[in-house]
Amino acid sequence: PSGEIVEGDSVTLICSSDSNPPALNFSWFKGETFVGSGRIYSISNISSNHSGEYKC
C-alpha cells in the first residue's frame, strides 16, 4: 500500500488479475511463505513482524 502504515493499524491487500479465463483462486505469499488465500488478504493490529514483501 502507499502511504504510511503505523503499528496497530489494519491493512487490506486486494489482488486483481486480467487473465482470460478469469482467475478463480488466489494465493498470498510473504516472501516465499504461503500466508493465505482469496482475493483479499487482511492484516489487523499490524506490527514489525508483518514487514516484508507480499505477493498474490
**pLDDT, tens digit (0-9, with 9 covering 90-100), for 1-56:** 567 889 999 999 999 999 999 899 999 999 999 999 999 999 999 999 999 999 99
Q: Residue 52: what pLDDT?
A: 93
**How many Cα neighbours within 13 Å face the side chain of 39?**
5
What is the model's pTM? 0.84
Domain edges within the chain: 1-46
> Is the Cβ–Cβ distance between 29 and 35 less than 8 Å?
yes
Report how far apart, in Å, the C-alpha atoms of 15 and of each of 3, 6, 7, 8, 45 are.
18, 22, 23, 23, 21
